[in-house]
A and B are shown apart, each in its own frame.
Chain A
């Protein structure tokens, strides 16, 4: 689904929650997933100029999970390593969004190219 304005955030989070509930994710993991998703979607709006998110249900032996792919065609991140550090911000904020989300997820992948955009993929397993 596409995220272009502040008002898209709540419907998006509700959609993620629906999926998480559907696969029976625990309340704690649901909250972690939604919070992480919220961070990335806000970054996408604030720095990436909006973009799209893909929601997928994954399954593996005796577990299932949710994969979210955030894609924007914004300015990209010049130094991804730096952006992943606690406290690094160019937006006069807390600089916790990226590193914090990584801690909340089971898998976290970030691809960013200056001038092209940023793609972040996260996975949260139901029992992970």
Chain B
């Protein structure tokens, strides 16, 4: 014998879809700016069909069953795309919760025996809640992807090479210097050295929170690459606590020119380029008395 609620769902599928759509349209949070009603109908119909077609006696209380793979797949793709489009969790969650509401309403209209209705409702409730959790999990995954993409974009934009003087370029590094970032930093720096025909590159690390052995290794590599290009590299912005930590860690930076401030790095650069930058003496005004 087929489970009664499945029979009801199959018979009332069209009505359920209408109920569900009405519920979704009633929801304050419905984002007509993000999706048209027609698209909403297509998405909803697809999910509902997949759910009802796959429901059976044996899996109705087994949301983990592999029979629901397509259901989960549809839900995941909906919730990932919603996460990326900027829907809130509430807006995304209401998609599945309003389906649950439509299903339960239909059951209560069709089933006469209160005890059976209660039992069936509990089962549907549990199964749909499990789908809702899957929806949230993928929603969060979608958001994480957005964050990762933004991180990559920030990496790209946050490595500006500045020409501070004729023959001197500087690159302030802010944040953690991981392997991907080092690659970008190194490429930008070497490119800038070629373009500006600079002889000195200053790498300012005042914005780097910690220098561990990996960061140190990346710095050393960048310095070597700069030297291969025929330029000298100065590392500035080494704070006292960083200096002490690097020494305890056992990292040898003695073969690298390091300065505590960007200003002193610049002074050293001027000396290396035989530049003499001095304050202009104010010409003394002569008061002549006739």
Contact = CB atoms under 8 A, between A and B. Distances in A.
Nearest to B216: A94
A28 B244 contact: yes
A7 B148 contact: yes
Contacts, number: 68
Contacts of B245: 28, 31-32, 35, 104
A31 B241 contact: yes
Interface in A1-47: 6-7, 9-10, 13, 17, 27-28, 30-32, 34-35, 38-39, 42
Contact of A10 (B176, B213, B217, B241): B176
Interface string B207-222: 0011111101100000
Chain A interface size band reads 20 to 34
A97 interface: yes
Given A86-B250, A103-B248, A94 B213 contact: yes
B178 A100 contact: no
Interface in B2-38: none
B249 interface: yes
In this complex, the member of B148, B151, B213 whose beta carbon has the largest number of chain A beta carbons within 10 angstroms is B213
Main secondary structure of the interface of A (DSSP, over half): helix
Contacts of A17: 209
Interface in A66-106: 86, 93-94, 96-97, 99-101, 103-104
A96 B211 CA distance: 13
A94 B250 CA distance: 10
Interface in B224-278: 240-242, 244-245, 248-251
Main secondary structure of the interface of B (DSSP, over half): helix
Interface residues of B, number: 22
A42 to B, nearest CB: 6
A96 B250 CA distance: 7
Contacts of A99: 250
A60 to B, nearest CB: 23
Contacts of A28: 240-241, 244-245
B151 A7 contact: yes
Contacts of A97: 212-213
Contacts of A32: 241, 244-245, 248
25 contacts: A6-B178, A7-B151, A17-B209, A28-B245, A30-B241, A31-B210, A31-B244, A31-B245, A32-B245, A32-B248, A35-B210, A35-B212, A38-B214, A39-B212, A42-B212, A86-B250, A93-B217, A96-B250, A96-B251, A97-B212, A99-B250, A100-B213, A103-B248, A104-B245, A104-B249
> 5 tightest CB-CB pairs across the interface, nearest first?
A100-B249, A31-B241, A38-B212, A28-B241, A103-B248
